[in-house]
Amino acid sequence: MYKIFLYNSLFLTYTIVKMNIRADINKDTASIIFDTLKKEILDLTLKPGEEVSENMLTKRFNASRTPVRTAIQRLADMDLIDIAPYQYTKVSLIDYSIARQMIFLRSVMEERVISEFINKADLFLIEDLEHILRKQEILLSSSSFNASDFYNLDTAFHSLFFRDMNCLYIWNMIQDSVHYTRLRMLDIVEVKDFISIYEEHVKMLGIIKTMDKKDLPALLSAHLNGGVRRIHERSNGDYDKYFRNFK
């Protein structure tokens, strides 16, 4: 009897351990799939409206359906994936209305943040801004130019203001808007008017160095709304398919 009891106990322990290992593997696989797809959706490797079926993902990641479904549901919860059961699973369209509202919010907040930043007039931070712009300048003339690198430098330039003024919560809230992030990336990746963005950064730095704020509201408004303007001017309807509520 004791041997049977011992055998059953060992078998039960083995089964539980095996199930936990399988659950951990599925969890890790789901996280890998989620992180990969999230990055590809936000940097527009996967375009708005593009299909991402379970079958395609199971083959791509050599995974079972369980972690794939877990990853898809997490992306759907972030509004990055649209799911219509038994019909389709697609990358969500960019909600133009939400993106515009985030631009409005950012315009109001960033003008105040930069104004306070100018009052502080920290020469070391101004040097940091100059360094970022120098990197952008070098990148623009590089044969190995990468739009994502330019986007990251653009983000570094603006986030410095919020970080220095202890307003990173506001900055992160703006950056967490997946619709606004993709609109910005669409402007950089598809429209590719990098020079205009860089030149506006240079003008912004000029305002900061001279501490002359009178032109800041107009420049910042033009800069933050520039992506929307450029997409409208150059799309010829080509980008309409990427948006919902596009007006």
Q: The CATH number of the domain where 166 resides is what? A: 1.20.120
pLDDT of residue 246: 78
> Is the same domain home to 38 and 154?
no
| Res 11: pLDDT | 47
> What CATH number is given to the structural domain containing 37?
1.10.10.10
Q: Are residues 49 and 163 in the same domain?
A: no
Residues 192 and 213 in one domain: yes
pLDDT in tens, 28-74: 899 999 999 999 999 999 999 999 999 999 999 999 999 999 999 99
Using the 3D structure, point to which of 54, 72, 92 is the last residue of a domain: 92
Q: How many domains, in total, are found in the chain?
A: 2
Are 87 and 105 contained in the same domain?
A: no
Task: Give the residue from 208, 52, 69 showing the smallest Cα distance to 130.
Answer: 208
Do 131 and 76 belong to one domain?
A: no
188-234 residue pLDDT tens: 888 888 999 999 999 999 999 999 999 999 999 999 999 888 888 87
CA-closest candidate to residue 26, choices 66, 76, 85: 66
User: Which of 70, 92, 114 represents a domain boundary (last residue)?
Assistant: 92
Flag whether pLDDT at 99 surpasses 70. yes
Final residue belonging to a domain, choices 57, 92, 127: 92
Same domain as 105, residue 13? no
CB 162 within 8 A of CB 20: no
Q: Are residues 110 and 228 in the same domain?
A: yes
130-141 mean pLDDT: 96
Domain that holds residue 167: 95-244
Instruction: Let me know whether 124 and 26 are in one domain.
Output: no
Same domain, 226 and 209: yes
Stretch 131-158: mean pLDDT: 93
CA distances 140 to 174, 184, 194, Å, are 26, 18, 8
